[in-house]
Structure 1
Amino acid sequence: MKLKILLPHGIFAEQSGVLRMVAETTTGAVGLWPRRLDCVAALMPGIFTYETEAGGEVFVAVDEGVLVKTGSEVRLSVRQALGGASLAQLRQQVEQEFLSRDENEQNLRSVMTRLESGILRRLVSVKHG
């Protein structure tokens, strides 16, 4: 099978010679084999696993998205993806990504709060002025 993992800003991975895949969907885990019927599934954040003829098992942490299987081609369209050689490395990468994301979100909230306060003060001064 051929696998393509798409992100909003480009292609995360393209792999041919995939033997099997397992994805976490909104209805549970789904296994994909070469002769499985075509399907579409909504993906949940989780671990997407695939096995290649040459490289063995590969783990990818994916965000919400959509999986489409047509013939021997499988495409995942997700918001974010992180790859790791092992589950332990992948877990560490995901934790670091979430920590940095949390810091960025806190900074963004702080900036937005200051902007909103400034706008409200100006509106009040215009109304009373």
Structure 2
Amino acid sequence: MPMNLKILLPFQVFAERAGVSRIVAETPEGAFGLLPRRLDCVAALTPGILTYETEDEGEVYVAVDEGVLVKSGAEVVISVRRALGGTDLGRLRDAVEREFLTLDEQERSVRSVLAKMEGELVRRMAGFHDE
């Protein structure tokens, strides 16, 4: 009984495959493998390489950003922020490091600046309240 895989992005379906015999994804604890008879589960995903295998396509690699994987029966739904397909595993790994991990660092920087601005706004508002 093969699995049905659906990879979702925020605004579109990235991939939908039937007949998937195995899936390997990266989690904060390391690689996580799924076979069709595995119990239902949920797993947080980290930026990395998702691998799935079908009889027609063989092994397929997809660079994915952080997200979540949900397996329910034969249905596997993976929801991630960004995904890139390709056949060259080395290039996909570079894309994960260059695009996904770098953007996460930029997002942390922006959030830090916003937190400082919010803190300053709260202090000024408190100052107006005290006057």
The corresponding residue for 2:31 is 29
Unaligned runs of 5+ in 2: 118-131
Q: CA RMSD in A?
A: 2.8
**Equivalent pairs: percent with the same residue?**
67
* Count of aligned residue pairs for this structure pair: 111
**What is the TM-score normalised by the length of structure 2?**
0.71
Separation in 2 of the partners of 1:96 and 1:40?
Answer: 27
Separation in 2 of the partners of 1:15 and 1:86?
Answer: 20
Choose from 67, 70, 84 the match for 1:68. Answer: 70
Separation in 1 of the partners of 2:22 and 2:61?
Answer: 12
**What do the CA deviations read for 1:93-123 (whole angstroms, capped 9, x no partner)?**
446646x969xx6xxx7xx9xxx9xxxxxxx
The corresponding residue for 1:4 is 6
Contact 2:22 2:36 in 1 (8 A): yes
Deviation at 1:89, TM superposition (A): 3.4
The corresponding residue for 1:19 is 21
Separation in 1 of the partners of 2:97 and 2:68?
Answer: 23
The corresponding residue for 1:127 is none
